[in-house]
Protein backbone atom coordinates (compact mmCIF):
# COMPACT_ATOMS: atom_id res chain seq x y z
CA UNK A 1 0.00 0.00 0.00
CA UNK A 2 1.43 3.34 -1.03
CA UNK A 3 0.98 5.79 1.82
CA UNK A 4 1.50 9.53 1.30
CA UNK A 5 2.01 11.50 4.49
CA UNK A 6 1.73 15.28 4.41
CA UNK A 7 4.50 16.89 6.42
CA UNK A 8 5.18 20.44 7.42
CA UNK A 9 6.75 21.69 10.58
CA UNK A 10 3.63 21.59 12.70
CA UNK A 11 3.21 19.34 15.73
CA UNK A 12 0.04 17.97 14.10
CA UNK A 13 1.99 16.63 11.18
CA UNK A 14 4.78 15.23 13.37
CA UNK A 15 2.13 13.39 15.33
CA UNK A 16 0.51 12.13 12.13
CA UNK A 17 3.79 10.73 10.85
CA UNK A 18 4.57 9.08 14.18
CA UNK A 19 1.08 7.59 14.27
CA UNK A 20 1.42 6.15 10.77
CA UNK A 21 4.81 4.64 11.57
CA UNK A 22 3.51 3.16 14.80
CA UNK A 23 0.26 1.74 13.58
CA UNK A 24 0.75 0.99 9.93
CA UNK A 25 4.37 0.04 9.67
CA UNK A 26 4.78 -1.68 12.98
CA UNK A 27 1.29 -2.90 13.72
CA UNK A 28 1.93 -5.70 16.15
CA UNK A 29 4.90 -4.53 18.15
CA UNK A 30 4.57 -6.48 21.35
CA UNK A 31 5.80 -4.90 24.53
CA UNK A 32 9.18 -6.23 25.57
CA UNK A 33 10.33 -6.93 22.03
CA UNK A 34 14.09 -6.71 22.33
CA UNK A 35 15.20 -6.61 18.72
CA UNK A 36 14.39 -3.81 16.32
CA UNK A 37 11.04 -4.83 14.80
CA UNK A 38 10.92 -5.06 11.05
CA UNK A 39 8.58 -2.71 9.22
CA UNK A 40 5.94 -4.27 7.07
CA UNK A 41 7.58 -4.70 3.69
CA UNK A 42 4.43 -4.27 1.66
CA UNK A 43 3.86 -0.62 2.56
CA UNK A 44 5.53 2.20 0.71
CA UNK A 45 5.94 5.55 2.44
CA UNK A 46 6.14 8.88 0.66
CA UNK A 47 6.57 12.14 2.56
CA UNK A 48 5.03 15.16 0.86
CA UNK A 49 5.66 18.78 1.68
CA UNK A 50 3.74 21.59 0.01
CA UNK A 51 5.43 24.92 -0.57
CA UNK A 52 3.42 28.05 -1.33
CA UNK A 53 4.49 29.71 -4.55
CA UNK A 54 5.75 33.28 -4.35
CA UNK A 55 2.85 35.13 -5.94
CA UNK A 56 3.43 38.67 -4.83
CA UNK A 57 6.90 39.15 -6.22
CA UNK A 58 6.19 37.54 -9.53
CA UNK A 59 4.61 39.26 -12.45
CA UNK A 60 4.07 38.08 -15.99
CA UNK A 61 5.99 39.95 -18.64
CA UNK A 62 4.49 40.00 -22.10
CA UNK A 63 2.25 37.39 -23.58
CA UNK A 64 2.95 33.81 -22.87
CA UNK A 65 4.20 32.19 -19.76
CA UNK A 66 7.40 34.03 -19.09
CA UNK A 67 7.49 35.17 -15.53
CA UNK A 68 10.12 37.52 -14.19
CA UNK A 69 10.62 38.80 -10.71
CA UNK A 70 13.18 41.12 -9.27
CA UNK A 71 15.76 38.59 -10.34
CA UNK A 72 18.39 38.23 -7.67
CA UNK A 73 16.03 38.83 -4.77
CA UNK A 74 13.62 36.31 -6.22
CA UNK A 75 16.35 33.76 -6.58
CA UNK A 76 17.48 34.29 -3.02
CA UNK A 77 13.99 33.91 -1.64
CA UNK A 78 13.31 30.87 -3.71
CA UNK A 79 16.57 29.28 -2.68
CA UNK A 80 15.78 29.93 0.96
CA UNK A 81 12.37 28.42 0.51
CA UNK A 82 13.82 25.34 -1.15
CA UNK A 83 16.31 25.00 1.69
CA UNK A 84 13.53 25.16 4.27
CA UNK A 85 11.52 22.59 2.37
CA UNK A 86 14.49 20.26 2.19
CA UNK A 87 15.00 20.61 5.92
CA UNK A 88 11.38 19.81 6.67
CA UNK A 89 11.34 16.64 4.58
CA UNK A 90 14.84 15.79 5.72
CA UNK A 91 13.77 15.91 9.35
CA UNK A 92 10.70 13.83 8.58
CA UNK A 93 12.84 11.30 6.77
CA UNK A 94 15.15 11.10 9.79
CA UNK A 95 12.18 10.29 12.01
CA UNK A 96 11.27 7.45 9.68
CA UNK A 97 14.81 6.12 9.55
CA UNK A 98 15.12 6.21 13.30
CA UNK A 99 12.04 4.06 13.52
CA UNK A 100 13.48 1.63 11.03
CA UNK A 101 11.78 2.70 7.82
CA UNK A 102 14.66 3.47 5.50
CA UNK A 103 12.85 3.41 2.19
CA UNK A 104 10.74 6.52 2.60
CA UNK A 105 10.67 8.77 -0.44
CA UNK A 106 10.31 12.53 -0.21
CA UNK A 107 8.47 14.89 -2.55
CA UNK A 108 8.21 18.65 -2.43
CA UNK A 109 5.29 20.14 -4.33
CA UNK A 110 4.63 23.77 -5.10
CA UNK A 111 1.18 25.19 -4.66
CA UNK A 112 -1.46 25.87 -2.09
CA UNK A 113 -1.23 23.08 0.43
CA UNK A 114 -4.63 21.54 -0.01
CA UNK A 115 -4.64 21.38 -3.80
CA UNK A 116 -1.00 20.42 -3.98
CA UNK A 117 -1.52 17.50 -1.62
CA UNK A 118 -4.48 16.16 -3.56
CA UNK A 119 -2.59 16.54 -6.79
CA UNK A 120 0.46 14.79 -5.37
CA UNK A 121 -1.68 11.90 -4.16
CA UNK A 122 -3.20 11.64 -7.61
CA UNK A 123 0.11 11.81 -9.46
CA UNK A 124 1.80 9.31 -7.20
CA UNK A 125 -1.09 6.89 -7.44
CA UNK A 126 -1.26 6.81 -3.67
CA UNK A 127 -3.52 4.34 -1.93
CA UNK A 128 -3.83 6.54 1.12
CA UNK A 129 -3.22 10.18 1.95
CA UNK A 130 -2.49 10.98 5.59
CA UNK A 131 -2.84 14.46 7.03
CA UNK A 132 -2.59 15.75 10.56
CA UNK A 133 -5.22 17.96 12.05
CA UNK A 134 -4.87 21.12 14.03
CA UNK A 135 -8.01 20.27 15.95
CA UNK A 136 -9.66 23.60 15.16
CA UNK A 137 -13.28 24.13 16.12
CA UNK A 138 -15.98 24.69 13.51
CA UNK A 139 -15.78 28.48 13.44
CA UNK A 140 -12.02 28.69 13.11
CA UNK A 141 -12.17 26.06 10.41
CA UNK A 142 -14.59 28.19 8.45
CA UNK A 143 -12.29 31.20 8.56
CA UNK A 144 -8.84 29.73 8.56
CA UNK A 145 -9.67 26.94 6.19
CA UNK A 146 -8.81 23.40 6.73
CA UNK A 147 -6.43 21.38 4.62
CA UNK A 148 -7.70 18.14 6.08
CA UNK A 149 -11.31 19.07 5.30
CA UNK A 150 -10.50 20.00 1.71
CA UNK A 151 -8.49 16.86 1.14
CA UNK A 152 -11.16 14.68 2.69
CA UNK A 153 -13.59 15.83 0.05
CA UNK A 154 -11.37 16.28 -2.96
CA UNK A 155 -8.67 13.67 -2.79
CA UNK A 156 -9.08 10.85 -5.24
CA UNK A 157 -7.91 8.26 -2.75
CA UNK A 158 -8.89 7.39 0.81
CA UNK A 159 -7.80 9.96 3.31
CA UNK A 160 -6.74 9.51 6.90
CA UNK A 161 -6.99 12.38 9.35
CA UNK A 162 -4.81 11.86 12.40
CA UNK A 163 -6.03 13.79 15.39
CA UNK A 164 -3.66 15.50 17.76
CA UNK A 165 -3.27 13.65 21.02
CA UNK A 166 -5.59 14.81 23.79
CA UNK A 167 -4.03 17.74 25.60
CA UNK A 168 -2.43 16.95 28.86
CA UNK A 169 -3.99 20.13 30.05
CA UNK A 170 -3.20 20.81 33.64
CA UNK A 171 -3.96 24.23 35.02
CA UNK A 172 -0.31 25.07 34.99
CA UNK A 173 0.47 23.02 31.88
CA UNK A 174 1.39 24.36 28.50
CA UNK A 175 -1.08 23.91 25.70
CA UNK A 176 0.48 21.63 23.18
CA UNK A 177 -1.82 22.37 20.29
CA UNK A 178 -2.49 25.80 18.92
CA UNK A 179 -6.04 27.10 18.91
CA UNK B 1 -18.25 -5.93 31.02
CA UNK B 2 -17.53 -8.07 28.03
CA UNK B 3 -16.64 -5.19 25.76
CA UNK B 4 -14.28 -3.56 28.23
CA UNK B 5 -12.45 -6.79 28.86
CA UNK B 6 -12.14 -7.45 25.16
CA UNK B 7 -10.85 -3.95 24.61
CA UNK B 8 -8.37 -4.42 27.42
CA UNK B 9 -7.33 -7.77 26.00
CA UNK B 10 -6.73 -6.22 22.61
CA UNK B 11 -4.69 -3.45 24.15
CA UNK B 12 -2.68 -6.02 26.03
CA UNK B 13 -1.89 -7.84 22.81
CA UNK B 14 -0.71 -4.58 21.31
CA UNK B 15 -3.08 -4.82 18.36
CA UNK B 16 -4.73 -1.74 17.05
CA UNK B 17 -8.51 -1.80 17.07
CA UNK B 18 -10.38 -0.30 14.16
CA UNK B 19 -14.08 0.40 13.93
CA UNK B 20 -15.68 0.36 10.47
CA UNK B 21 -19.08 1.99 10.08
CA UNK B 22 -21.44 0.26 7.64
CA UNK B 23 -24.86 1.07 6.35
CA UNK B 24 -26.77 -0.11 3.32
CA UNK B 25 -24.95 2.00 0.81
CA UNK B 26 -22.47 0.69 -1.72
CA UNK B 27 -20.05 3.32 -0.46
CA UNK B 28 -19.78 1.75 2.96
CA UNK B 29 -19.33 -1.79 1.59
CA UNK B 30 -16.62 -0.42 -0.63
CA UNK B 31 -14.96 1.14 2.43
CA UNK B 32 -15.15 -2.17 4.29
CA UNK B 33 -13.70 -4.08 1.35
CA UNK B 34 -10.92 -1.54 0.89
CA UNK B 35 -10.03 -1.83 4.57
CA UNK B 36 -9.99 -5.62 4.38
CA UNK B 37 -7.85 -5.57 1.27
CA UNK B 38 -5.22 -3.26 2.73
CA UNK B 39 -5.15 -4.15 6.41
CA UNK B 40 -6.35 -7.73 6.64
CA UNK B 41 -4.92 -9.28 3.54
CA UNK B 42 -2.34 -11.66 4.98
CA UNK B 43 -4.01 -15.02 4.59
CA UNK B 44 -3.50 -17.41 7.47
CA UNK B 45 -2.22 -16.41 10.86
CA UNK B 46 -3.72 -13.93 13.21
CA UNK B 47 -4.69 -10.61 11.70
CA UNK B 48 -2.56 -7.74 12.97
CA UNK B 49 -5.50 -5.50 13.80
CA UNK B 50 -8.77 -6.00 15.57
CA UNK B 51 -11.85 -5.28 13.55
CA UNK B 52 -15.22 -4.10 14.84
CA UNK B 53 -17.96 -3.53 12.26
CA UNK B 54 -20.71 -1.25 13.49
CA UNK B 55 -24.07 -0.56 11.91
CA UNK B 56 -26.19 2.28 13.21
CA UNK B 57 -29.89 1.51 13.13
CA UNK B 58 -32.02 4.63 13.10
CA UNK B 59 -34.84 4.66 15.60
CA UNK B 60 -38.26 4.07 14.09
CA UNK B 61 -39.45 7.44 15.33
CA UNK B 62 -36.65 9.30 13.60
CA UNK B 63 -37.26 7.38 10.39
CA UNK B 64 -40.94 8.22 10.31
CA UNK B 65 -40.33 11.88 11.03
CA UNK B 66 -43.44 13.80 11.84
CA UNK B 67 -45.49 12.46 14.70
CA UNK B 68 -49.05 12.75 13.61
CA UNK B 69 -52.21 10.76 13.90
CA UNK B 70 -51.60 7.30 12.61
CA UNK B 71 -47.87 7.47 13.18
CA UNK B 72 -48.16 5.13 16.14
CA UNK B 73 -49.73 2.47 13.91
CA UNK B 74 -46.96 2.68 11.38
CA UNK B 75 -44.12 2.48 13.89
CA UNK B 76 -44.06 -1.29 14.44
CA UNK B 77 -43.82 -1.87 10.71
CA UNK B 78 -41.09 0.69 10.32
CA UNK B 79 -39.23 -0.85 13.25
CA UNK B 80 -39.45 -4.34 11.78
CA UNK B 81 -38.27 -3.06 8.44
CA UNK B 82 -35.30 -1.26 9.97
CA UNK B 83 -34.35 -4.38 11.91
CA UNK B 84 -34.45 -6.46 8.74
CA UNK B 85 -32.34 -3.94 6.93
CA UNK B 86 -29.71 -3.93 9.69
CA UNK B 87 -29.60 -7.73 9.66
CA UNK B 88 -29.00 -7.64 5.93
CA UNK B 89 -26.19 -5.17 6.35
CA UNK B 90 -24.50 -7.23 9.05
CA UNK B 91 -24.92 -10.45 7.11
CA UNK B 92 -23.29 -8.94 4.08
CA UNK B 93 -20.52 -7.52 6.26
CA UNK B 94 -19.94 -10.95 7.82
CA UNK B 95 -19.64 -12.42 4.36
CA UNK B 96 -17.09 -9.84 3.32
CA UNK B 97 -15.08 -10.27 6.53
CA UNK B 98 -14.91 -14.05 6.31
CA UNK B 99 -11.13 -14.08 6.49
CA UNK B 100 -11.01 -12.14 9.75
CA UNK B 101 -11.61 -14.73 12.39
CA UNK B 102 -12.13 -12.49 15.39
CA UNK B 103 -14.12 -9.64 13.88
CA UNK B 104 -16.92 -8.16 15.96
CA UNK B 105 -20.25 -7.13 14.49
CA UNK B 106 -22.65 -4.76 16.19
CA UNK B 107 -25.95 -3.10 15.48
CA UNK B 108 -26.59 -0.10 17.68
CA UNK B 109 -29.65 2.04 17.64
CA UNK B 110 -29.28 5.75 17.24
CA UNK B 111 -27.97 8.42 14.95
CA UNK B 112 -24.99 7.18 12.94
CA UNK B 113 -22.77 10.07 13.97
CA UNK B 114 -23.11 9.44 17.67
CA UNK B 115 -23.18 5.67 17.37
CA UNK B 116 -19.84 5.58 15.58
CA UNK B 117 -18.09 8.02 17.88
CA UNK B 118 -19.42 6.19 20.88
CA UNK B 119 -18.34 2.82 19.47
CA UNK B 120 -14.82 4.21 19.11
CA UNK B 121 -14.81 5.09 22.80
CA UNK B 122 -16.21 1.75 23.82
CA UNK B 123 -13.73 -0.33 21.84
CA UNK B 124 -10.93 2.12 22.59
CA UNK B 125 -10.31 2.05 18.88
CA UNK B 126 -7.38 3.87 17.38
CA UNK B 127 -9.02 4.21 14.02
CA UNK B 128 -12.48 4.74 12.60
CA UNK B 129 -13.20 3.96 8.97
CA UNK B 130 -16.21 5.40 7.19
CA UNK B 131 -17.29 5.49 3.59
CA UNK B 132 -18.41 8.70 1.99
CA UNK B 133 -21.32 9.39 -0.28
CA UNK B 134 -19.23 12.01 -2.00
CA UNK B 135 -21.89 14.70 -1.67
CA UNK B 136 -21.04 18.21 -2.76
CA UNK B 137 -21.02 21.04 -0.28
CA UNK B 138 -24.70 21.89 -0.55
CA UNK B 139 -25.97 18.34 -0.11
CA UNK B 140 -23.66 17.96 2.82
CA UNK B 141 -25.08 21.05 4.44
CA UNK B 142 -28.65 19.89 3.92
CA UNK B 143 -28.41 16.15 4.42
CA UNK B 144 -25.60 16.19 6.91
CA UNK B 145 -22.52 14.12 6.59
CA UNK B 146 -21.58 11.34 8.92
CA UNK B 147 -18.02 11.23 7.64
CA UNK B 148 -17.66 14.97 8.20
CA UNK B 149 -19.01 14.78 11.72
CA UNK B 150 -16.90 11.79 12.64
CA UNK B 151 -13.73 13.24 11.19
CA UNK B 152 -14.12 16.20 13.52
CA UNK B 153 -15.57 14.63 16.61
CA UNK B 154 -14.18 11.15 16.91
CA UNK B 155 -11.29 10.98 19.32
CA UNK B 156 -9.18 8.82 17.10
CA UNK B 157 -7.73 8.80 13.62
CA UNK B 158 -10.47 8.80 11.02
CA UNK B 159 -10.08 7.28 7.58
CA UNK B 160 -12.56 8.26 4.90
CA UNK B 161 -12.71 5.85 1.98
CA UNK B 162 -14.42 7.03 -1.13
CA UNK B 163 -15.50 5.07 -4.14
CA UNK B 164 -13.28 6.36 -6.90
CA UNK B 165 -15.04 8.62 -9.35
CA UNK B 166 -14.44 7.73 -12.92
CA UNK B 167 -12.44 10.61 -14.31
CA UNK B 168 -12.19 10.99 -18.02
What pTM was computed for the model? 0.80
Give B87 to chain A, closest Cα distance, Å.
Answer: 27
CATH code, B30: 3.40.50.620
pLDDT class of A165 with cuts at 50, 70, 90: confident
B101 lies in some domain = yes
The total of other beta-carbon atoms located within 10 Å of residue A169's CB is 11
What residues of A are in contact with residue B164 (Cβ under 8 Å)?
Answer: 156-157
CA distances from B130 to A9, A59, A69, A86, B28 (A): 28, 44, 46, 34, 7
- Comparing alpha-carbon positions, the chain A residue that sits nearest to B128 is A160
**B interface mutation test: which of A18, A130, A146, A159 has the most B CBs within 10 A?**
A159
Size of interface A-B (CB pairs under 8 A): 62
Architecture of domain A2-25+40-162: 3-Layer(aba) Sandwich (3.40)
B127 and A23: CB-CB below 8 Å? yes
Helix ranges, chain B (H):
2-13, 26-39, 60-64, 71-96, 112-123, 137-143, 146-153
pLDDT of residue B10: 46
pLDDT of residue A140: 64
Least CB-CB distance to A161: which of B34, B151, B155? Answer: B151
B5 lies in some domain = no
Decide: helix, strand or coil at residue A109. Answer: strand
Nearest to B86 by CA among B168, B155, B24, B137: B24
Number of domains chain B is built from? 1
For chain A, the residues whose C-beta falls within 8 A of a C-beta of chain B are 1, 19, 23, 27-31, 127-128, 138, 148-149, 152-153, 155-163, 166
B100 lies in some domain = yes
**A interface mutation test: which of B30, B162, B167 has the most A CBs within 10 A?**
B162
Say if CB B119 and CB B19 are below 8 A apart. yes
Query: Per-residue pLDDT tens for B150-165?
Result: 888 888 999 999 887 6
Q: What is the pLDDT along chain B (168 residues), one digit of tens a residue?
A: 554 555 444 444 678 899 999 988 888 999 999 999 998 887 666 778 999 999 999 888 777 766 666 777 788 888 899 999 999 999 999 999 988 888 999 999 999 999 999 999 999 999 999 988 766 667 666 666 888 888 888 889 999 998 876 544
B142 lies in some domain = yes
B2 lies in some domain = no
pLDDT of residue A20: 92
Burial class (CB in 10 A: 0-12, 13-18, 19+), B35: buried
CA distance A64 to B28: 47
CA distance B127 to B83: 27
More confident residue, B24 or A59: B24
Least CB-CB distance to A31: which of B14, B157, B159? Answer: B14
What residues of B are in contact with residue A160 (Cβ under 8 Å)?
Answer: 127, 157-160
What residues of A are in contact with residue B15 (Cβ under 8 Å)?
Answer: 27-28
For chain B, the residues whose C-beta falls within 8 A of a C-beta of chain A are 13-16, 31, 34, 38, 48-49, 126-127, 132, 137, 147-148, 151-152, 154-162, 164-165, 167
Say if CB B17 and CB B52 are below 8 A apart. yes
B69 lies in some domain = no
Give B83 to chain A, closest Cα distance, Å.
Answer: 30
A160 and B157: CB-CB below 8 Å? yes
Assembly ipTM: 0.81
What residues of A are in contact with residue B19 (Cβ under 8 Å)?
Answer: none
Least CB-CB distance to A28: which of B48, B132, B156? Answer: B48
Residue range(s) defining the domain that contains residue B111? 16-60+74-161
Helix, strand, coil distribution of chain A in percent, nearest 5: 40, 20, 40
Decide: helix, strand or coil at residue A169. Answer: coil
Looking at chain B, the whole-number percentage of residues with pLDDT higher than 90 is 41
- Comparing alpha-carbon positions, the chain B residue that sits nearest to A134 is B152
Phi/psi of residue B127, nearest 5 degrees: -150, 140
pLDDT class of A75 with cuts at 50, 70, 90: confident
B117 lies in some domain = yes
Amino acid sequence: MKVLVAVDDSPGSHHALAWVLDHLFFPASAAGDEQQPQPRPDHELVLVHAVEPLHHVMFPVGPGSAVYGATSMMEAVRAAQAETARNVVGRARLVCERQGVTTAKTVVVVGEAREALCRAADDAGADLLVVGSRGLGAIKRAFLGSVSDYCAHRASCPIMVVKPPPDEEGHDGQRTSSY
Amino acid sequence: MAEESSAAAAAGEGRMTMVVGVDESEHSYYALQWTLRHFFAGGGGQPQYRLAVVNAKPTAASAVGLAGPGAADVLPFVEADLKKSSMRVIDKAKELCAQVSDALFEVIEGDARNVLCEAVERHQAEMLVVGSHGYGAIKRAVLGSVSDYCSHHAHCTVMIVKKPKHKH
